[in-house]
Chain A
């Protein structure tokens, strides 16, 4: 089946640094990817919709200058958390919509900012 590979699975970074998370579609072309954030014991909140070759669409309340999304090819979307702070510590997960009316998810990235 369609697989989205997400890396890294875990990352610890210092406050003020930037972190890049990658999501690759391994055996299909993903024109649209979605980025979610999940705080402990909470739901998955949609942050943005990433479209290949165009600017991402951010959900209300999500800072586009802080969470940079790049979808430069049909198989790769990246999320960069810039100038990370402890409150950005969370579980980030990407998803791609499939022609078969479903979605496939990456395995998630657990970000800890110290």
Chain B
């Protein structure tokens, strides 16, 4: 069965600090996709990144970066120089695509960035 674990329930940082959100996943599939979403208080889900299981290259997008390591089944997300607008709940998610095509979410991490 697929499972996504986000061990950090809540994180509080001061503006301009760097912060890393952890994500560990479990799957028996060899082909799968990993995602990160941001959910602000409005409730809408904002897509941040998608990574397939064959691409272990780390990615950087502005202040955001992602570290994908298949050896440890982790897909961690780092925000550099955090800002108050980064405050939200962040979800890591896993999809098997081709099989059931379901997207399974982790428990989420509430990030609070204090001014």
One digit per residue, 1 when the CB lies within 8 angstroms of any chain B CB and 0 when it does not, for chain A 91-108 equals 101010100011101011
Closest residue to A46 on the B side, CB-wise?
B102
Q: A54 within 8 Å of B by Cβ?
A: no
One digit per residue, 1 when the CB lies within 8 angstroms of any chain B CB and 0 when it does not, for chain A 44-70 equals 111001000000000000000000000
Contact in complex: B50, A101 (CB < 8 Å): yes
Contact in complex: A43, B45 (CB < 8 Å): no
Q: A85 within 8 Å of B by Cβ?
A: no
The size class of the interface chain B forms with chain A is: 20 to 34
Measured between alpha carbons, how far is A108 from B43 in the docked complex, in Å?
Answer: 7
B: residues with CB less than 8 A from A are: 33, 35, 43-45, 47, 50, 52, 91, 95, 97, 100-108, 110
Known: A43-B91, A44-B91. A105 touches B45 (CB 8 A): yes
The size class of the interface chain A forms with chain B is: 20 to 34
Known: A44-B91, A93-B45, A108-B43. A101 touches B52 (CB 8 A): yes
A: residues with CB less than 8 A from B are: 32, 34, 36, 38, 41-46, 49, 91, 93, 95, 97, 101-103, 105, 107-108, 110
* B103 proximity list for chain A (CB < 8 A): 34, 46, 95, 97, 103
**11 A-B residue pairs with CB within 8 Å:** A32-B101, A41-B110, A42-B108, A43-B106, A45-B105, A46-B104, A49-B101, A97-B101, A101-B97, A103-B47, A107-B43
